[in-house]
Amino acid sequence: MRQTREFANPPVVLGYATIAGPKEGEGPLAAYFDKVINNLYYYEDTWEKAEQKMFLEVAEMALQKASVKKEEVDFFLAGDLLNQIISANFAAKSLGIPFFGLYNACATFYEGLILGAMLIAGGFAKKVLVGVSSHYATVERQYRNPTEQGVQKTPTSQWTVTGAAAVVLGDGEGKIKIPRVTVGKALDYDMFDPSDMGGAMVPAAFDTLLVHFKETGLVYDYYDLMLTGDLARFGQQILVKLLQENNINFGQRLNDCGIMIYRPEQQVNAGGSGTACSALVTAGYVFNELSQGKIHKFLGIGTGALLSQVTTQQGMAIPVIAHAVAFESY
C-alpha cells in the first residue's frame, strides 16, 4: 500500500493569506502574517463568532491575493477544531463555494492541501481553496476547562494558536509547486494523556517521515527545511532521539511549528498547537521564504491527535496521524 503520490504536473500555490491572534502577533514570526488582531473577541460578542469572522476574512484575503474570484473556485476544503467544524461551516455558507468539511485535528491544514492537490492533479478541479482556523479560548473551553477557572497547566501542555490561514491551489504556472505528498495512517501507541499531545503525535510524525523518504527514494538532506506541525518542545526532542536511534540526523533542517511560533518567554508551556499552528507558519513564514528564494525545497508534516472529550473521559487512547506535503520553488 503506497502512501506517497508524486504529481507529473504539480499543482501550484496561487495565493495565500494569514490572520494571527494577539499572542501570535507578539511572537517571532509576526512580520510574516498578513494581519494580527488585537484581542480574542475581534469586535464580536463571543469567541466562536470571532473565529468564524477570521475564517471568512482570511479566505477572502487569499482569493484577493490570488486574483481569483470565488465563482472560479471549484471546491472549498476547510476545517477547524470545534464540534461539527462550525467555523468552517459558517465560512462555507458565506462563500457559496462547493464545500468539503474536513477534520484531522491539527493536521487538517495538511489534509486539505493533499486533497486539494490530488483534485487538481487528477483533473477534477482547476482551482481549490483550502482553509483552517483555531482559537485559544474556543478550544480551551471545549476540550479542557472553563476559561474562568484558570486551571494550572502541565509542562507538557500546549497553547492553542489563535489564527486562520487560507491557500488557493491551481493548475498551470506558479512559483511554489507541490510535487509530492504522503498520506499518513491513524496510529495508536497507547498514549492516554491529553495534556501531552506532542508526545502522543511523535510516532505518527516518525512513521510518515520514514515512509516519505523510503517511497520517494530521496536522500535525507534533499529538503532545505522540514517542519513538523505541533510536536512542540518535548515531542520534538523525542522525535529527534528516535531518528538518531535509526541513524538519521536532519540537524538544523528539522524544526517544529509549535516551537517556532512563540518566543520562549511567552509562557506557552511546551509550545503551540491547534489547526492554525502549522497553517500560520507554513502560509506565513515558509511560503515567504520559498517565494523569495531563501529556501527551495520544503517538507511540512502536519500532525494531529484524533481525540475528543468523550474518548478522553472514557479512558480511551489517543489515535494520531501525520500527513506530509512537499513544496518546491524554482
pLDDT-derived band of residue 147, with 50, 70 and 90 as boundaries? Answer: low
Indicate the SS3 state at residue 128. Answer: strand
Indicate the SS3 state at residue 64. Answer: helix
pLDDT-derived band of residue 146, with 50, 70 and 90 as boundaries? Answer: low
Whether residue 264 is predicted with pLDDT greater than 80 in this model: the reply is: yes
Q: Determine contact, residues 165/292, Cβ cutoff 8 Å.
A: no
pLDDT-derived band of residue 139, with 50, 70 and 90 as boundaries? Answer: confident
Q: Which domains does the chain have, with CATH numbers?
A: 4-170 (3.40.47.40), 176-329 (3.40.47.40)
pTM of the predicted protein model = 0.96
Sign of CA dihedral 24, 25, 30, 33: positive
Sign of CA dihedral 58, 35, 87, 263: positive
Question: b or e along 91-101 (b: 16 or more beta carbons within 10 Å of the residue's beta carbon)?
Answer: bbeebebebbb
Q: What is the pLDDT of residues 191-246, one digit of tens each?
A: 888 888 899 999 999 999 999 999 999 999 999 999 999 999 999 999 999 999 99
Whether residue 145 is predicted with pLDDT greater than 70 in this model: the reply is: no
Give the pLDDT confidence score for residue 156 in this predicted structure.
87
Give the pLDDT confidence score for residue 312 in this predicted structure.
85
C-alpha cell at 119: 483534485
Distances (CA, A) of 179 to 70, 108, 118, 290, 325: 25, 19, 11, 14, 8
Q: What is the pLDDT of residues 305-320, one digit of tens each?
A: 999 889 988 999 999 9
Whether residue 144 is predicted with pLDDT greater than 80 in this model: the reply is: no
Q: Determine contact, residues 4/181, Cβ cutoff 8 Å.
A: yes
Give the pLDDT confidence score for residue 154 in this predicted structure.
81
Q: Taking all residues of the chain, what is their mean pLDDT, rounded to a whole number? A: 95
Give the pLDDT confidence score for residue 330 in this predicted structure.
81
On the CB side of 123, how many CA atoms lie within 13 Å of its CA?
A: 1
Give the pLDDT confidence score for residue 6 in this predicted structure.
98
Whether residue 33 is predicted with pLDDT greater than 70 in this model: the reply is: yes
Question: What average pLDDT does the segment 63-73 reach?
Answer: 98
Q: Determine contact, residues 184/324, Cβ cutoff 8 Å.
A: yes
Indicate the residue type of 115. Answer: L
Q: What is the pLDDT of residues 150-197, one digit of tens each?
A: 677 888 888 899 999 999 999 988 999 999 999 999 999 998 888 888
Give the pLDDT confidence score for residue 240 in this predicted structure.
97
Segment (H or E) for 311: helix 309-313
pLDDT-derived band of residue 149, with 50, 70 and 90 as boundaries? Answer: low
Question: What average pLDDT does the segment 73-100 reach?
Answer: 98
